[in-house]
Chains A and B, each alone.
Chain A
Amino acid sequence: MSKDRDILEIQLWEALQSGEQSALQQLYMSYYKSLLQYGMRYTEDRDTLKDSINNTFLYFWEKRESIGTANHVGNYIFKSYQRQLVKDLDRTTKFEALHESNTNIDIADVEEFQFIISQEENTRVTILKNAILQLPKRQRELVLLRYYEGLSYEEITVKTNLSKRAVYNQIHSAINALKKDTNLQNLKQILPLLILF
């Protein structure tokens, strides 16, 4: 766990306490993946997990003036999320095993789920994210089903009522578009510098 990241997160946490919504968003964006993956241990139901994540952050926002300073932001977020998860899963009664398991999360557990992406990677991922958001709606949905939810072509066929050929072709052209788009964006960054030389 890097020191820099710890310090940055404590600063973000303080900004959140003073009412800066952008700080809440930054923490949300950087913990979303780990929280979702952690929740997948207990349930496959992504919609419930997404609601729990939102409830956790909504709690931070509404109680921002009374919540304490966090020495370890990640730990605090995970603990709050777990409490919320127990509550939300209890309500939907979709899950029992959580009660049996030990409900304490230790730090090692938290760190297992935190991921740090370097600056270069971060930019690449952001470019890719923007490119995905620019895909036609149908293609974006299929890409999400295939690569995010990990469904096979067969399963997508059943879910969407499209032919297997159509599903494959749409995803194929989406992947080609992403490749073209991300290359183009790299070029666009250099282009302005070339104009003058």
Chain B
Amino acid sequence: MRVYQSIQDFILDESFFRYAVQQDPSEIVKWESYLKDHPEQGTLIQRAKQELLAMQDALYLVDAQQNYARLAAQLNPPVRNVRLKKKWTYYAAASLILLCLITALYIFQYHFNKPETTAYVTLPAEKKTIKLADGTLIKLNADSKLDVAAGFGKTNRAVKLVGEAYMEVAKNKALPFTVTTQALQVRVLGTTINVRAYANEELTAASLIEGSAEIILKNKSEAPILLKPMDKVVAPISSPQASISTELPVHKKPADYKLESVTHYDAEQRLAETSWADQKLVFVNEPLSSIAKTLERWYNIKIEFQNSDISSRKYTAAFDDREELQNVLQSLRSSLPFNYRKIGPRTISIYLTNP
């Protein structure tokens, strides 16, 4: 018999394969006696066996994936539109009715002089890049809505935001650009700014990358907060609870917002706040509950916590936004362990590892 020194030596051996995978009776006898003669190789043999079995499962998956591709091609045969020609009269009638409706709607709108806003909406797991009439470039993050007011670029430059947007605002001294969210209003002349105001999050944040900006908190009557580049304002969305910040020497009154600096997350000084606009998922010392909300939006899933004490644990990590969800969860749990499992087609439950 030849000499076996490494896992690979075993994996490459035909006789070992017949023993570990095919469970050939004569090979079992042979390898059991080999083990008796070389008890020191017990763990090596065990690991080689595990590797071979894992490889079997992996190969079944490879084969399944290749074979499924053939099936997938058969699943949705293209729908032919034969009926369309036969029933053209119906379609003609339908379009006539539609035309009447549109006219009626137009007249209605004209008479009541409703301002027409343009809405841009992103679904979960979707991002959009929008160029507005004044040349402003906007990247809209997943599950967000941006309303652009009527007359934008002519009489005003006002937008409304629910969700998150990264904005490179074109310069125009005559018309200030304003972003209104549930809790605050941002006024800028020409600048790059990231505003995060999701309805299902407790905090809203505005991070100034360059230029200058004024922030007006809606539930405060005090003077606007003036932002310098790399400043970040974080404010609660609903109840004005006093989370008094010690980092605020400028303002006399205790404020319920915080003035922070934006966070650099890597050696190249890239910013965590705008990382999503560069196809990255970055979390810096962020509680799992808030990470979960981002993942829900990004992968279009629901995440449930079985124990609330896990959701407050803080994690730091960076991923490419095309990383598979499973890999993201795996690497998070490798720093502070938790368990997760799928409990529905698009629902994941996170629970604590039993001590």
Contacts and interface: CB of A to CB of B under 8 A. Distances in A.
Given A58-B74, A123-B330, A132-B59, A8 B343 contact: yes
A150 B22 contact: yes
Interface stretch (B87-95, B237-245, B312-320): B312-320
A132 B55 CA distance: 9
A85 interface: no
**B contact face: mostly helix, strand, loop, or mixed:** helix
A54 B64 CA distance: 10
B284 interface: yes
A147 B17 contact: yes
A56 B8 CA distance: 39
A25 B71 CA distance: 10
B40 interface: no
A72 interface: no
A15 B55 CA distance: 30
B331 A192 contact: yes
Contacts of A147: 17, 21, 52, 55-56, 59
B61 interface: yes
Contact of B318 (A57, A150, A192): A192
Given A33-B57, A125-B54, A193-B317, A28 B71 contact: yes
Interface stretch (A86-94, A105-113, A170-178): A170-178
Given A121-B54, A123-B326, A54 B71 contact: yes
A36 B60 contact: yes
Contacts of A7: 343
B345 A128 contact: no
Nearest to A148: B59
Interface residues of B, number: 49
B8 A58 contact: no
A114 to B, nearest CB: 13
B57 A125 contact: yes
Interface residues of A, number: 56
Nearest to B67: A50
Interface in A3-18: 4, 7-8, 11-12, 15
Nearest to B21: A150
B327 interface: yes
Contacts, number: 130
Interface stretch (B27-35, B118-126, B216-224, B334-342): B334-342
Contacts of B59: 132, 143-144, 147-148
B155 to A, nearest CB: 47
B55 A128 contact: yes
Contacts of A20: 345
B75 interface: yes
A192 B323 CA distance: 12
Contacts of A117: 57
B60 A32 contact: yes
A128 B54 contact: yes
A172 B58 contact: no
Interface of B: 7-8, 11-12, 14, 17, 21-22, 52, 54-65, 67-68, 70-72, 74-75, 265-267, 284, 316-319, 326-327, 330-331, 334-335, 339-345
Interface pairs A-B: 3 shortest CB-CB: A32-B64, A128-B58, A189-B331
Interface of A: 4, 7-8, 11-12, 15, 20-25, 28-29, 32-33, 36, 50, 53-54, 57-58, 61, 117, 119, 121, 123-126, 128-129, 132-133, 143-144, 146-148, 150, 152-153, 168, 171-172, 175-176, 178-179, 189-190, 192-193, 195-197
